[in-house]
Amino acid sequence: LPKPDYFDVILVNERDEITEGCISNIAIECYDTNGQMYWKTPSLDSGLLNGCLRAHYIANKLVKPGVVTKDELIAAHQ
C-alpha cells in the first residue's frame, strides 16, 4: 500500500472549531492589536483533551487558550 501524504488528522467540534490533532496539540501564531506575536491553542471549552505539554505551556504563559477557527488555522504562518 502507498504511504499517505499526511501524518495527523485535525479534529473539530460541533461548533466547527479546531480542537486538536489525533496525535498532537494545535498552536497557531497570532498577533494582537499592537502587532505583538503570541501563540494560541484551543481552549478546554472546545472539548479537547488537556495534554500535559499543552497544560505546561499555558501555565508558563507560553501559549494562550482561545477559540481557533478553520480560517485562522488555514491563514496561520506556523
CATH of the domain at 54: 3.20.10.10
Residue 7 clears pLDDT 90, i.e. is over it = no
Condensed to tens digits (0 to 9), the pLDDT of residues 44-53 reads: 999 999 989 9
Q: How many domains does the chain have?
A: 1
Give domain status of residue 4, yes or no: no
Give domain status of residue 31, yes or no: yes
Residue 4 clears pLDDT 90, i.e. is over it = no
Give domain status of residue 2, yes or no: no
Q: Which helix (H) or strand (E) holds 55?
A: helix 52-59
Q: What mean pLDDT comes out for the span 20-43?
A: 95
Tell me what pLDDT residue 72 has. Answer: 95
| Residue 50: domain span | 10-75
Give domain status of residue 18, yes or no: yes
Give domain status of residue 47, yes or no: yes
Short-list 37, 52, 42, 36, CA closest to 17: 42
Q: Residue 54 — very low, low, confident or very high, per pLDDT cuts 50/70/90? A: very high
Residue 20 clears pLDDT 90, i.e. is over it = yes
Give domain status of residue 29, yes or no: yes
Residue 27 clears pLDDT 90, i.e. is over it = yes
